[in-house]
Structures are given as structure tokens and as C-alpha cells.
Amino acid sequence: MLLIAGTMPIENLPLTIGKVSLEGDFLVVNNQRMPRTQGTGAMINAALTVTNFLKIESPHALVVGDIGDGKGSREMYQYLIDNIAEICPKVLTLHYCLPIMGLTKKLCQSVAKCAKRPIMIADAGAMYAAVAVGLSREFDIFTPDPSEMSYLADPNASHPAYIRRHLFGVDATQTPQLVASAYQNNRAPRYLMVKGRIDYIVRDGNVVATITEPCIPQLEPIGGTGDTITGLVSGLVYGGFEPDKAAIIAAKTNRLAGQLAKPTPATKVKEIIDYFPQVFEQTIKS
């Protein structure tokens, strides 16, 4: 099973778990309909395109509404803490949630009770919490952007808001230095997929690939194009690809789909995702 867990900014969305399907512009999980644009929805949608293409079981999703007060995040963490050993997924991806450090520690303790340890992927709030409590090595893959790499690289930062350098002033060419610092300070898992103008794929602290083409600057302001990377990586790893190969395919897929979509500032991420199956013929099958 591929289990993707994350919150959505929907006030009345109850804790919901189940296999994902797609109905038009909505994801459906256990009869709950939710948008497939931005955030956790875009990530789940991207993973679903991979499993459909590979003809393997669809992702399962654990989702809950959280409008910023952390209530939904706590429910999500607690459900996983109580049930992850029984669910025992092959891949567990954690995404948008309030970074609650104590519950992250308990979740990692519960994961250790699984009959077979899941492949662990984290982005966004889940990644921040894992780094802050010193449990980065409990995970297999992080998918940060260059600004988040500044957080991973800063041994004194407990949250991206508290990094020494300005969060939005990071040059993508600085990424190798930030990667080296993150590994030196034990704040990174075995694999990193650093997504940005230059995509860096890292294994054990070494940059094993960079992806720069096609360069589509218009993708930058479109919300969700980083979330799709995490979803693609999750689906590909679940489908049997090694993490570094999965990251390379994900980076190329996102860029080529963006090129086909001819994006403008009004483009929605779902319009890019809809090109993924066409692009897979080139990126997965090549």
C-alpha cells in the first residue's frame, strides 16, 4: 500500500482514510469529495496518475481538514500513531500538517513496530518536524525546495522561519553547499530531491543528477507544482523505482508536462497533472 497523509484547508473535512479515485476535478476518498488542486490534493492526484499508468493499486489517502489551528494535524498524527503498525504500508508519505514535534517522535516509534518498515517520504510540515526533533534519518526521502534546504542546512534552526539566511534569498546554485551542510549536521535522510530552477537529486550526500531542462519559468508562480513532485516520487517508489531514479523521472515529468500545458499565471496545477500520462510514455518508458 502507498499511504499519503496530509491536511487540507477545508474546515469541515473529517478524518478520512481510503483508496483514492478521481471523479472529474475531484478526488474521492471513502465517499468524501475534495479538490485536486494545490497542496495535499495535487500531491495525491500526481501519485494517482503514476499508479494508474503502472497499473498497480491506487494510493490510499489519510486526509483531514485543518485551517491552521492544528486540530486536524493532531488527529492525523494520532490516527497514524495508533494504527500504522496494523496498516503497515509499503510507502508512507507525510505532507502538509502542523509540525508537532512530540507527535512526530511518537509516530516514528510506532513505525518501528511495523512488521516491515515502510519507505518514509516527507515534505512540508512533516519534514520540518522530522528535522527539528533530529529524526531525519528515520526517513528515506525529503523533497525540499532551495529555501527549505536552508533550513535543513542550519543546525540551530527549529523551523524555517528561524534560519540564519533569508528564506526567499536562496540562489539555487548554492544548493550543493547547503546539501553538504545538511548531511554534516545529520539533518537529511539518505535521499533528497531538491526541487527548483535546478532540480538536484542527492544520495548519501552526493549530488547524483541535476535536471535543468526544459526550463519553464512560468511554472514558478503556479501553486502545487512542488507538491506534484512529491506525489510523483511517492508513486514511482511504490511502483518499484529506486528513489534516485524516481526523483529524476519526477523532475523530468513535471517539466515536460509544464511545457505541454503552455502555462500562464492563470493555469491551475490540475491542467499540468493532466499531461502526466502523456509524458510518462517518454519519462517512464525510456
Tell me the pLDDT tens digit for each residue of 271-285.
999 999 999 999 997
| Cβ 223 vs Cβ 38: under 8 Å | yes
- Say if residue 150's pLDDT is above 70: yes
| Cβ 236 vs Cβ 243: under 8 Å | no
Q: What was the pLDDT predicted at 223?
A: 81
Q: What was the pLDDT predicted at 113?
A: 96
Q: What was the pLDDT predicted at 126?
A: 94
Q: What was the pLDDT predicted at 167?
A: 47
pTM of the model: 0.94
Q: Where are the domains of the chain?
A: 2-283
Residue 220 pLDDT grade (very low, low, confident, very high; cuts 50, 70, 90): confident
Q: What was the pLDDT predicted at 75?
A: 97
- Fold of the CATH domain 2-283: UDP-N-acetylmuramoyl-L-alanine:D-glutamate ligase (3.40.1190)
Q: What was the pLDDT predicted at 216?
A: 85
User: 37 or 47: which carries more pLDDT confidence?
Assistant: 47
Distances (CA, A) of 279 to 80, 190, 245, 275: 34, 28, 16, 6
- Say if residue 48's pLDDT is above 50: yes
- The alpha carbon of 62 is separated from its chain's Cα centroid by a whole number of angstroms, namely 14
Residue 228 pLDDT grade (very low, low, confident, very high; cuts 50, 70, 90): very high
Q: What was the pLDDT predicted at 159?
A: 58
- The alpha carbon of 79 is separated from its chain's Cα centroid by a whole number of angstroms, namely 20
- Which pLDDT tens digit goes with each residue over 61-100? 999 999 989 999 999 999 999 999 999 999 999 999 999 9
- Say if residue 245's pLDDT is above 80: yes
Q: What was the pLDDT predicted at 171?
A: 67
| Cβ 132 vs Cβ 101: under 8 Å | yes
Mean pLDDT across 170-196? 91
Indicate the range of 20-24, 136-140, 150-154, 228-232 predicted with least confidence: 150-154
Axis crossing angle, helix 39-54 with helix 276-283, rounded to the nearest 10: 50
Mean pLDDT across 175-180? 94
